[in-house]
């Protein structure tokens, strides 16, 4: 790329991580989005092209997550130069893997590098969240923050936003099972109960605390025991055809645990070796195929760096 343009990759992410509804997430090595930015001699922000979206994403700069994130950043720092945006979707829309978050993160990361703004990731976060807001109509950082920072992330709170990076066990692997099912985030939100029994809250809280401690101490047995969601999974799993069979196949193949990524339909399974992670991918894909669905699987370590510049 020339000095007046830049191409970056921003990773997909797993959010919730079992019991950590809306507060936990981690980045993946694949899939992800590619963003290309080019400086323009005028002062316009324009979307030059979008690929990999099946024609579903808007070219209106006030409605696209990438352009909204860029406009937010340019407005704050009074950047008057123009920029052309290419969005290359390398992951499914509505996959439960933070597709819109990856575009927003890639956009602000690219702009920071292209204009040599020297902003920190903390500085970029609010603008990536502004882009994500266009897609989700709410401020949720459990995809944006992992994609931007890399690693396993805890969002402790939002007023002010408090991002905590958690230790990643050195042999931790993730298998993604993405069946060809469409689930709308609004539908996945609407199905959740408005009230939760105190007993379930206590169980969930214990699992969240133990899961974080398991990551911090690289205690795989504790991670396995804690990767259980008693509040959200029982409802959202009903939206995923063959969920119980897929999860059982993952566990029998050696997974530490298996649950839903974000709103689904993607599922994730954690393991403590690449060999086991690949076996989980093979066995779960076989189950999904037997059900009569197409699917895609990915095997990845936790991405520790977030977005990166591509040559």
Give, for all 311 residues of the chain, the pLDDT tens digit. Answer: 445 999 999 999 999 999 999 999 999 999 999 999 999 988 899 999 999 999 999 999 999 999 999 999 999 999 999 999 999 999 989 899 999 999 999 999 999 999 999 999 999 999 999 999 888 777 789 999 999 999 999 999 998 999 999 999 999 999 999 999 988 877 888 899 999 999 999 999 999 999 999 999 999 999 999 999 999 999 999 999 999 999 999 999 999 999 999 999 999 999 999 999 999 999 999 999 999 999 999 999 999 999 999 97
SS3 state at 18: coil
In the chain, domain spans: 5-166+304-310, 173-301
Q: What does pTM read for this prediction?
A: 0.94
The DSSP code sequence of 177-207 is EEES----HHHHHHTS-SS--HHHHHHHHHH
Overall fold of domain 5-166+304-310: Ribosomal Protein S5; domain 2 (3.30.230)
Q: How far apart are alpha carbons 133 and 63 in whole angstroms?
A: 10
Return the CATH number of the domain spanning residue range 173-301. Answer: 3.30.70.890
Residues 6+ apart with CB under 8 A from 63: 134
Catalytic residue, from 65, 168, 175, 185: name it. Answer: 185
User: Is residue 185 annotated as part of the catalytic site, yes or no?
Assistant: yes
Residues 6+ apart with CB under 8 A from 36: 1, 5, 6, 7, 8, 85, 86, 88, 110
SS3 state at 34: strand
Number of residues that this document lists for the chain: 311
Indicate the pairing of strand 173-179 with strand 152-158.
unpaired
CB atoms inside a 10 Å sphere around CB 48: 14
């Amino acid at each position: 790329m020339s000095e007046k343009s830049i191409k970056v990759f921003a990773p997909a992410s797993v959010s919730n991580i079992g019991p950590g509804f809306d507060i936990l997430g981690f980045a993946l090595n694949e899939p992800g989005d590619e963003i290309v930015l080019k400086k323009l001699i005028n002062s316009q922000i324009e979307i030059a092209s979008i690929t990999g979206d099946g024609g579903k994403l808007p070219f209106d700069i006030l409605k696209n997550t990438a352009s909204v994130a860029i406009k937010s950043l340019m407005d704050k720092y009074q950047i008057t130069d123009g920029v052309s945006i290419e969005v290359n979707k390398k992951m499914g829309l509505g996959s439960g893997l933070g597709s819109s978050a990856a575009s927003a993160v890639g956009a602000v990361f690219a702009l920071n590098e292209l204009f040599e703004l020297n902003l920190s990731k903390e500085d970029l976060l609010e603008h990536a969240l502004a882009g994500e807001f266009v897609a989700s109509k709410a401020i949720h950082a459990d995809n944006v923050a992992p994609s931007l920072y890399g690693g396993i992330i805890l969002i402790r709170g939002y007023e002010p936003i408090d991002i905590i990076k958690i230790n990643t066990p050195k042999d931790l692997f993730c298998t993604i099972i993405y069946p060809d099912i469409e689930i709308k985030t609004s539908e996945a939100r609407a199905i959740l109960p408005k009230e939760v029994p105190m007993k379930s809250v206590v169980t969930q809280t214990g699992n969240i605390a133990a899961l974080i401690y398991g990551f911090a101490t690289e205690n795989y047995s504790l991670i396995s025991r804690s990767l259980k969601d008693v509040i959200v999974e029982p409802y959202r799993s009903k939206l995923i055809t063959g969920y119980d069979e897929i999860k059982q196949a993952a566990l029998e193949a050696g997974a530490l645990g298996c649950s839903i990524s974000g709103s689904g339909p993607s599922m994730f399974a954690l393991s403590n070796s690449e060999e086991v992670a690949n076996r989980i991918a093979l066995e779960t894909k076989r189950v999904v195929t037997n059900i009569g669905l197409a699917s895609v699987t990915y095997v990845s370590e936790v991405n520790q760096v977030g977005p990166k510049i591509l040559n």
